[in-house]
Amino acid sequence: MSTQAKQQQPSALSGFTPYVETKGEEYMSESMRKHFSNILKKWKQDLMQEVDRTVDHMKDEAANFPDPADRASQEEEFALELRARDRERKLIKKIDKTLQLIEDEEYGWCESCGVEIGIRRLEARPTADLCVDCKTLAEIKEKQVGK
């Protein structure tokens, strides 16, 4: 991931106020779902704006440099940008899937074991679909299989 993309990803989720639960509030109440829906929609909007900026940048900066080294540098820059945008495209799909889960009132529970994922984890990673324990186990299995 490019340095620019790395710097922008955390800020995509900044600027929101952490959810404050009320006493006796049910997990994934309507207000919680609305909170996460707003976070995800803002994140998606930011990603879509970045796609537009990339298209404009590539149109504006596209040049046929006579020097092969300059041409190669520009092609490498564009390739890195396109790889970052491809990752973001996949993230947008995951955001859309998550928004659908919220709409279906199935958001916030682990896909593996069914327990609550937790508000703070979801604020840190709104597209999370596994609880911390299941995600940890999945990462351990992945490392073991990868060896």
User: Which residue numbers belong to the known binding site for Zn(2+)?
Assistant: 110, 113, 131, 134
Do residues 137 and 66 lie in contact, with contact meaning Cβ atoms separated by under 8 Å? no
**Encoded amino acid at 1, one letter:** M
Give every CB contact of residue 111 below 8 A, 6+ residues apart in sequence: 129, 130
Q: Annotated binding site: which residue ranges?
A: 110, 113, 131, 134
C-alpha separations of 61 from 7, 72, 136, 146 in Å: 22, 14, 43, 40
Contacts of 117 (CB under 8 A, 6+ apart): 108, 109, 110, 128, 129, 130, 131
